[in-house]
Amino acid sequence: MTAKRLRVFALLAISMVFLLAWTFPIIWSVMNSLKTDPDVLAYPPKLVFAPTLDAYRDVLFGSGSILPNLLSSAIISVGTTIVTMLMAVPAAYALARLRFRGKKFAGFYVLATQMLPPVGIIIPYFLVLRNIGWIDTYQGIILIYLSFSLPFAIWLLVSYFEDIPFEMEEAAYLDGASRLKTLWRIIIPQVRGGIAVTVVFVFLNAWNEFLFAVVLSGNTVRPVTVAMFNFVSVEQTLWAKLAAVSVLAMLPVVVLGVVAQKHIVKGLTVGAVKGGGRR
């Protein structure tokens, strides 16, 4: 075998190991969710088994159904996304395209807010919400989610707004359209793609959040990431059901992630590849 052949084989072997390492925990959860508890616990682990949807039926429609929790997650994520976008799009446009005093400071402020450790925010926030009775409410959770979704969305959108040519809005403006009308009719359609990517990210982050959700949720509003704990207790773990809940919690983000795959790197790396020149 030539050295080149050997190299190709080595490459292939290493890449296979990595692809397997990254996907295995996910695949294994999906497989376990289609098993019965004895099959999950079988030793050696069962790769071939009779698949059943019992676990899904139980967690969705049985007693202690997680449907309300999935609904909570959905309301929180959609609500956060809508509020965030309504505030972030205008702000990002102003930061990217308008000239005003204190612009540098405004940009720095948005960036700096991302540095705060969440645990530091949640302690005082918890005290305030307890006083006004907003623990275990949607508005309480959605409001605190703005602390991380807004700075992120603003920075991501700024990078998209900066990419559109100035001539477009200039033409519209000189034609007599108001600034607001120009923004709405001319600029927003130009960054539709960027807005879509931002929506995906804000939704993902809200769906996945955990620390704030643990502290602020109760019996009424309890997202699925928190409710998942009901299936693991000191006495027993409901193996197949836990797997089913995990898969249901993963499903929306995996679908979104794969669909938005081509754009996700930009979202992850705002500033990273460019070297953060605009700081």
Partner 1 sequence: MATTAVTSAEIASEAPRSDFGRVLAQRERRFAAALLAPAFLALLATTTFPLLFLIYTSAFRMDLAMPFTNGFIGFENYQTLLADERFWTSLLVSLVYTGSTVALQVIVGLALALLVMDMKRGQGWFRIIAILPVVLSPAVVGMIWRTFMLAPEFGIVDYLAINAGLGSKNWLGDPTLAMVSVVAIHTWQWTPFAFMVLLASLASLPEDIYEAARLDRASAWQRFRRITLPLLRPAIVMVVIMRTMVALTAFAAIFTVTAGGPGTATEILNLYAYRKSFTELSIGYGSALAVALLIVTIIISGILFAMRRAK
Task: Tell whether residue 253 is a contact of partner 1 (CB under 8 A).
Answer: yes
Please say whether the beta carbons of 34 and 59 come within 8 A.
Answer: no
Amino acid identity at 103: K
Instruction: In angstroms, give the least distance from the CB of 26 to partner 1.
Output: 6
- From 48-56, 62-70, 184-192, 252-260, give the range in contact with partner 1 by CB under 8 A: 252-260
Task: Tell whether residue 23 is a contact of partner 1 (CB under 8 A).
Answer: yes
Range 116-155, binding partner 1 (CB under 8 A): 116-121, 123-128, 143-144, 146-147, 150-151, 154
Kindly tell me which residue out of 54, 173, 190, 230 binds partner 1, with binding defined by CB under 8 A.
Answer: 173
Instruction: In angstroms, give the least distance from the CB of 197 to partner 1.
Output: 13
Task: Tell whether residue 176 is a contact of partner 1 (CB under 8 A).
Answer: no
Gyration radius of the chain's alpha carbons? 24
The 3-state secondary structure of the chain reads: CCHHHHHHHHHHHHHHHHHHHHHHHHHHHHHHHCCCHHHHHCCCCCCCCCCCCHHHHHHHHCCCCCHHHHHHHHHHHHHHHHHHHHHHHHHHHHHHHCCCCCHHHHHHHHHHHCCCCHHHHHHHHHHHHHHHCCCCCHHHHHHHHHHHHHHHHHHHHHHHHCCCCHHHHHHHHHCCCCHHHHHHHHHHHHCHHHHHHHHHHHHHHHHHCCHHHHHHCCCCCCCHHHHHHHHECCCCECHHHHHHHHHHHHHHHHHHHHHCHHHHHHHHCCCCCCCCCCC
Kindly tell me which residue out of 202, 204, 221, 244 binds partner 1, with binding defined by CB under 8 A.
Answer: 204
Instruction: In angstroms, give the least distance from the CB of 124 to partner 1.
Output: 4
Q: Write the interaction track for partner 1 spanning residues 76-115; mark x where CB under 8 A is met and - where it is not.
A: ----------xxx-xx-xxx-xxxxx-x--x--xx--xxx
74 is written with which tokens?
A: 């959905």
Range 29-58, binding partner 1 (CB under 8 A): 29, 32, 41, 43-45
Range 212-251, binding partner 1 (CB under 8 A): 214-215, 225-226, 228-229, 232, 237, 239, 242-243, 246, 249-250
Minimum CB distance to partner 1 smaller for 52 or for 230: 230
- From 56-64, 74-82, 133-141, 268-276, give the range in contact with partner 1 by CB under 8 A: 268-276
Residues near partner 1 (CB under 8 A), total: 102
Minimum CB distance to partner 1 smaller for 137 or for 237: 237
Instruction: In angstroms, give the least distance from the CB of 125 to partner 1.
Output: 5
